[in-house]
Amino acid sequence: MNSLICLAQIAAVFAAICGANIVAAHDRSCAPARQKIIVYQPWASHSAVNPAQAKVIAKQLNTYGFTHLLLQWSRYGEQRYWLDDKPSWLPKQIKLGARQIIEGLYFDPGYYQALSLPDTSFEIYLATLRENSLIEAHLLQQNTQGKIDGWYFPEEIDDLNWRTQKRQEMLSAHFKSMIHGLKRLNANAPIYASTFFGGHSSPQEYARMLKKIHQETGIIWLVQDGLGVLRQPQPNTRQYLRTMSRTLPTNAWLGLLETFTELNQTGENRFCPASRSEIESRRKLWCSATGREPEVYFSLNQFNNKLLGHQNIKCKTRDGHFAAI
* Distances, alpha carbon 21 to alpha carbons 66, 225, 302, in Å: 12, 19, 21
Question: Which domain does 104 fall in, by range?
Answer: 3-324
pLDDT in tens, the chain (325 residues): 334 334 444 444 555 666 555 444 445 579 999 999 999 999 888 888 888 888 888 888 888 889 999 999 999 999 998 776 655 666 667 766 668 999 999 999 999 999 999 999 999 999 999 999 999 999 999 887 778 999 999 999 999 999 999 999 999 999 999 999 999 999 999 999 999 999 999 999 999 999 999 999 999 999 999 999 988 888 999 999 999 999 999 999 999 999 999 887 666 567 888 988 999 999 999 999 999 999 999 999 887 777 786 656 667 545 444 432 2
Q: What is the pTM of this model?
A: 0.89
* β-strand pairing of 296-298 with 37-40: parallel
Residue 322 sits at φ, ψ, to 5 deg, of -65, -25
CATH number at residue 97: 3.20.20.80
Number of domains in the chain: 1
Give dist(CA 305, CA 192) in Å, integer: 25
Peptide bond into 299 cis (omega under 30): yes
